[in-house]
Amino acid sequence: YQEVVAASTVTGDADAVVQVFASDMRHFERVLERIAGESFVERTKSVLVLSPLLRRFSSGSPT
């Protein structure tokens, strides 16, 4: 899926967290429906990011 920009395994109740970029809610719903339709997906739970509070990008080397 080209809308998936990151995916990570996590601790806790979920097995993975997937970051999706979508143009609008309908687009997001279509992507989520496709992901949920995969045979290896038992269930999904969505959280929408409203406004980022902080973003840091690593330069690759500590200063």
Q: What is the pLDDT of residues 41-58, one digit of tens each?
A: 999 999 998 998 998 887
Instruction: Tell whether 28 is covered by a domain.
Output: yes
Q: Residue 56 in 3-state DSSP?
A: coil
Q: What is the DSSP string of 12-54?
A: SS-SEEEEE--SSHHHHHHHHHHHHTSTT------------S-
Q: What is the pLDDT of residues 3-13, one digit of tens each?
A: 999 999 999 98
Domain span at residue 21 reads 4-36
Instruction: Tell whether 31 is covered by a domain.
Output: yes
Overall domain count for the chain: 1
Instruction: Tell whether 26 is covered by a domain.
Output: yes
CB contact set of 43 (below 8 Å; sequence gap of 6+)? 36
Predicted confidence (pLDDT) at residue 35 exceeds the cutoff of 90: yes
Instruction: Tell whether 51 is covered by a domain.
Output: no
Instruction: Tell whether 60 is covered by a domain.
Output: no
Instruction: Tell whether 47 is covered by a domain.
Output: no
DSSP at 55: -
Predicted local distance difference test score (pLDDT) of residue 51: 93
Q: How far apart are CA 19 and CA 4, in angstroms?
A: 6
Instruction: Tell whether 48 is covered by a domain.
Output: no
- Give percent of the chain with pLDDT exceeding 70: 94
User: Whole-model pTM?
Assistant: 0.74
